[in-house]
Amino acid sequence: MKYLIGFIFCVAMAMQSSAQVVEVNPNVKWKYVRSQKLELQSESVYQYEFPADKANDYIFNLFYDKENIVTHIKVLDMQMKPVASISDPKALKTTKLEFNVPASGMYIVILGYQSKDKTDESTTQIEAILITRPIVE
């Protein structure tokens, strides 16, 4: 009986899970680099490193439900030199940063938001997605 319950639990978990989509749009060869759901507070930041190829275009998207915020995305090289950035004071459910890198290698992305209401200490669910494709000329 114990094994039957375990088996049913495993089957139920497998049915709930789904694989991450690799290709976003096969016609233009967009592919996911990374997708992550975060919970951030106003004026806090999240950062991570990612590999990038200078032969590719990149788009970093943030999706969120909160209004009345200013979102920030910065891409830096490993020497902390700016590659691309956006500060979106009109943030309406999404912020998008399109960029290219000057050389292949590791890069750092820093993202966060600031509430326009200084007394707001709640957290916000943010989905951060980085996609890439070969540069189309």
Tens-place pLDDT, residues 41-67: 888 899 999 999 999 999 999 999 888
* CA–CA distance, 95 with 113 (Å, rounded to integer): 11
| Residue 26 forms part of a structural domain | yes
Q: What is the number of domains present in the chain?
A: 1
What is the CATH classification number for the domain harbouring 118?
2.60.120.380
| Residue 16 forms part of a structural domain | no
Per-residue model confidence (pLDDT) at position 73: 94
| Residue 8 forms part of a structural domain | no
| Residue 74 forms part of a structural domain | yes
Chain segment 1-43, per-residue pLDDT in tens: 555 455 454 444 444 433 344 455 555 678 878 888 999 888 8
pTM exceeds 0.95 for this model? no
Per-residue model confidence (pLDDT) at position 99: 95
**Whole domain around residue 109: which residue ranges?**
21-134
Mean pLDDT of 102-120: 90
| Residue 5 forms part of a structural domain | no
